[in-house]
A and B are shown apart, each in its own frame.
Chain A
Amino acid sequence: MSQNNVQLDPIRKAQLTWEGCSVLLDINDGDRLVFARLTSGSTLKIGNKNCSLQPLIGCPFGSLFQVDNGKEGPNLSRVIPSTEDDVQEKEDAQISGEFRDNRAIVDDNKAQSLSGEDIDEMRRQGATGEEIVEALIANSATFEKKTSFSQEKYKLKKQKKYAPKVLLRRPFARSICEAYFKKNPARIGFLRVDMLSLLLSMGNVAANSDVLVVDMAGGLLTGAVAERLGGTGYVCNTCIGDSPYPMDIVRIFNFSNEICKRIVRASVNDVTSQSETSEQSDQLESACNMEIQSNEQKSSSVSMEDISLSSENGVSDLILEANHSPVNKISKSHKVGEKASQETLKLWKENGFSSMIVVAPELDPWSVVKDLLPLLSYSAPFAIYHQYLQPLATCMHSLQVWKMAIGLQISEPWLREYQVLPSRTHPCMQMSGCGGYILSGTRTATNASSKQ
């Protein structure tokens, strides 16, 4: 049913996963984040167990799974989260026992009477993860002395180790950005999720717009723009030199054919040149084609990506098996990032782009902007991201001197998450210190009079 949904109506969100669907797996509340493609043959390694992802196919996004010891080895089974009553009980319990503190807790490693061998023995006898956690609590000499909050913490810690949970998430610009920022920020140019959302707003990304992007964030920006376009308009991924920038992350989004067709590539020369320059353009075309081919090769061999760097369990060799089973039909039937057609290029030259977003941490913003800004329609907004403040300050000054834009503003977002618990609300202890800087503005038509 869900697959039909996707194909008939590419814009509405599908509620259930399907064979070949790309998903984000959140293991133990964000300890480990894995992008995977659901096929009958794909597996996920949790701890030292290999679990098939088959049971996840056809399940609603947002469903929770746990590792069970089945007859044919470990497998993932669906868990329905606690209902209203359970939560209420827990809260009542939390409020009641608040006279305890940590005066009686001594850190001498003697609190737990259950040994590693005992636990292994329980496992051999087929105990579930939950049962092991219960046994650990029963055999802890200090558990009863802990406050209800630290009891909860203790239980959670043991649960993560002995009864890991897997949450099935829809890959969205938000979740993809958060996952990468947490585990591999360099890959996305250190683009924090609040910064990405500002770029999309300041770049006025709306259905039917033609957005020019310089995306050196692995395709995250291109994907995020395409998601908002919903199969209308165009996102033109442009490269400054001869070699296109990688945009592998686009494949993590579950884009329909309609949306993929709206993601095109063009070099700066393609979009700036008034007439078609024959030789150079051919060269670029072949370079672009090569890139597309190599992407396709990648897509058939690497259908999963594990961006986890560490694990709480102390198991560091969490490797995902790339699955070599047949690539799903949806990703085969279309290409992402084909070269923009001559007609489209011509339209952009006549009308200009509706807006521009630049994420190029490796380049000098001014050198990019001075070439690309003239390609924007008059009154088109633009947003430029950089990790450092100075290059944006220089760029803003140059734009002022050359009177190319107005409404220029450099801003820096600041984002703080809070822990909200009864009587225990405070900002989270850890936060990202810098989300980078953004230069935004609007192109003016001052050059128009001289042109016309």
Chain B
Amino acid sequence: MLPTDPTKKISFTRCIKEGDLVIVYERHDCMKAVKVCQNSAFQNRFGAFKHSDWIGKPFGSMVFSNKGGFVYLLAPTPELWTLVLSHRTQILYIADISFVIMYLELVPGCLVLESGTGSGSLTTSLARAVAPTGHVYTFDFHEQRAASAREDFERTGVSSFVTVGVRDIQGQGFPDEFSGLADSIFLDLPQPWLAIPSAKKMLKQDGILCSFSPCIEQVQRSCESLRLNFTDIRTFEILLRTYEIRQWRADCGQGTGGGSAGSIRHKRKQHLIEGSGEKENPNNSTVMARPNGEARGHTGYLTFARLKCLS
């Protein structure tokens, strides 16, 4: 997934090979991760897609099924992976993830500690940020979940930058071997305040901690315990509002347009065929946007704090 391996880096000439992980794209809300295997086939409602047809095609290609249905084959990225991974726990999404990476000031070479690993959605992005010289040490107290995460990191090709440990961080704290070595720490735990004294020990001077909690009571208690040794304690909530667009043609009239996006989309296609791909006259059509009806109302609160500089 990461371009640290030049043979895996996408380019005009890099083609899909046996053993590659591809993201099969049906629609923006319907994707699947598939490992390419010469004799396999991918099944969906549009028919069967033979993997052998995929090999040798560039990433980003449209491929067809036995029934003439089509999908796109994309190169995996941490963003796409977040959309296709199997949810063993509640996961972090792109808005929170990108904000965490930025606020933890992660750059190549950093050492990051994370607990819990969960489904590994954030871990993959942490690995991208610190590669090729840094490392992510992630811990989960659930043995089976840790094993599944390890398999996933192997599959996505980030395993050389991630080490998964089985450990109860709330109960035992982080391993002593990381004392004073961590550039940043991320906590996603039910009682993060229990892990804060250990986090303090692990962080380098001026190092940054982030705690993700869905409930404000958790934030309240974490902040109280952070005040002892940390400074710049800030809590944020971040959400993403998505928009849908629609073309509005003057000659459609408002009567036919009302509420029926489908018919308009149909007309647009017809219009395109008639115009044989020519750019549409902008005078009689406008594109409009509005927020999607359904949106995520809450993910969690992100609390950041910096270790006080005492020496």
Question: Does chain A bind chain B?
Answer: yes
Chain B minimum-CB-distance residue to A90: B227
Contact of B236 among A9, A173, A174, A415 (CB under 8 A): A415
**In the complex the two chains form, is A61's CB within 8 Å of B206's CB?**
yes
- In Å, the complex CA distance between A441 and B259 comes to 27
- B32 to A: closest C-beta gap in Å: 14
- In Å, the complex CA distance between A414 and B299 comes to 12
B238 at the interface (CB under 8 A from A): yes
- In Å, the complex CA distance between A193 and B95 comes to 12
**In the complex the two chains form, is B95's CB within 8 Å of A418's CB?**
no
Segment of B43-51, B125-133, B162-170 in the binding face = B125-133
* Total A-B residue contacts, Cβ distance less than 8 Å: 250
Cβ–Cβ < 8 Å partners of A233 in chain B: 3
Cβ–Cβ < 8 Å partners of A437 in chain B: 243
**In the complex the two chains form, is A393's CB within 8 Å of B243's CB?**
yes
Q: Which of A197, A379, A394 has the most chain B CB within a 10 Å cutoff?
A: A379
- In Å, the complex CA distance between A407 and B223 comes to 39
Indicate whether A228 sits within 8 Å of B79 (C-beta atoms), given known contacts A13-B183, A350-B12. no
B:205-230 near A, CB below 8 Å: 205-206, 216, 219-220, 223-224, 227-229
**In the complex the two chains form, is A206's CB within 8 Å of B4's CB?**
yes
B:114-171 near A, CB below 8 Å: 125, 128-129, 131-133
* 9 A/B residue pairs, CB under 8 Å, sorted by A: A62-B206, A174-B103, A207-B2, A230-B133, A397-B245, A411-B240, A425-B216, A437-B243, A445-B60
**In the complex the two chains form, is A81's CB within 8 Å of B231's CB?**
yes
Indicate whether A354 sits within 8 Å of B9 (C-beta atoms), given known contacts A60-B205, A206-B4. yes
- B246 to A: closest C-beta gap in Å: 9
Chain B minimum-CB-distance residue to A416: B237
**In the complex the two chains form, is A172's CB within 8 Å of B105's CB?**
yes
- In Å, the complex CA distance between A409 and B240 comes to 11
Chain B minimum-CB-distance residue to A168: B309
A422 at the interface (CB under 8 A from B): yes
Contact of B98 among A200, A380, A427 (CB under 8 A): A200
- A158 to B: closest C-beta gap in Å: 21
Please give me the 10 A-B residue pairs with the lowest Cβ-Cβ distance, nearest first.
A230-B108, A378-B60, A379-B60, A351-B11, A379-B59, A197-B102, A62-B309, A62-B206, A11-B109, A201-B98
- A140 to B: closest C-beta gap in Å: 26
**In the complex the two chains form, is B13's CB within 8 Å of A389's CB?**
no
B293 at the interface (CB under 8 A from A): no
B99 at the interface (CB under 8 A from A): yes
**In the complex the two chains form, is A64's CB within 8 Å of B242's CB?**
no
Extra inter-chain contacts (6) besides given A60-B206, A381-B77, CB under 8 Å: A13-B109, A81-B309, A204-B79, A411-B241, A420-B220, A445-B58
A97 at the interface (CB under 8 A from B): no
Cβ–Cβ < 8 Å partners of A193 in chain B: 99, 102
- In Å, the complex CA distance between A175 and B101 comes to 13
Chain A minimum-CB-distance residue to B134: A11
A315 at the interface (CB under 8 A from B): no
Instruction: Give the number of chain A interface residues (Cβ < 8 Å).
Output: 82
Contact of B28 among A350, A392, A409, A420 (CB under 8 A): A409
Indicate whether A230 sits within 8 Å of B243 (C-beta atoms), given known contacts A378-B10, A379-B10, A379-B74. no
Contact of B94 among A202, A207, A425, A448 (CB under 8 A): A202
Contact of A60 among B2, B77, B309 (CB under 8 A): B309
- A220 to B: closest C-beta gap in Å: 12
A80 at the interface (CB under 8 A from B): yes
Cβ–Cβ < 8 Å partners of B14 in chain A: 377
A:347-405 near B, CB below 8 Å: 350-352, 354, 377-381, 389-390, 392-394, 396-397, 401
- A195 to B: closest C-beta gap in Å: 9
- In Å, the complex CA distance between A80 and B306 comes to 15
Cβ–Cβ < 8 Å partners of A414 in chain B: 238-241
**In the complex the two chains form, is A174's CB within 8 Å of B107's CB?**
no
Cβ–Cβ < 8 Å partners of A64 in chain B: 309
> What sequence of 0s and 1s flags, for each residue 28-65 of chain A, a beta carbon within 8 Å of any chain B beta carbon?
00000000000000000000000000000000111110
Cβ–Cβ < 8 Å partners of B99 in chain A: 193-194, 197, 415
Contact of A381 among B28, B79, B107 (CB under 8 A): B79
A261 at the interface (CB under 8 A from B): no
Contact of A174 among B4, B105, B205 (CB under 8 A): B105
- In Å, the complex CA distance between A414 and B243 comes to 13
Chain A minimum-CB-distance residue to B206: A62
Cβ–Cβ < 8 Å partners of B73 in chain A: 379
Indicate whether A408 sits within 8 Å of B205 (C-beta atoms), given known contacts A201-B98, A229-B108, A377-B12. no
Indicate whether A80 sits within 8 Å of B310 (C-beta atoms), given known contacts A378-B58, A442-B60. yes
Chain A minimum-CB-distance residue to B269: A401
Cβ–Cβ < 8 Å partners of B35 in chain A: none
- In Å, the complex CA distance between A244 and B9 comes to 29
A106 at the interface (CB under 8 A from B): no
B72 at the interface (CB under 8 A from A): yes
**In the complex the two chains form, is A397's CB within 8 Å of B311's CB?**
no
- A418 to B: closest C-beta gap in Å: 4
Contact of B102 among A87, A170, A200, A410 (CB under 8 A): A200
**In the complex the two chains form, is A201's CB within 8 Å of B125's CB?**
yes
Chain B minimum-CB-distance residue to A10: B109
B55 at the interface (CB under 8 A from A): no
**In the complex the two chains form, is B238's CB within 8 Å of A13's CB?**
no
- In Å, the complex CA distance between A12 and B181 comes to 12
**In the complex the two chains form, is A208's CB within 8 Å of B77's CB?**
no
A333 at the interface (CB under 8 A from B): no
Cβ–Cβ < 8 Å partners of A9 in chain B: 109
- In Å, the complex CA distance between A103 and B84 comes to 59
**In the complex the two chains form, is A444's CB within 8 Å of B72's CB?**
yes
- In Å, the complex CA distance between A367 and B160 comes to 41
Indicate whether A208 sits within 8 Å of B132 (C-beta atoms), given known contacts A81-B231, A381-B79. yes
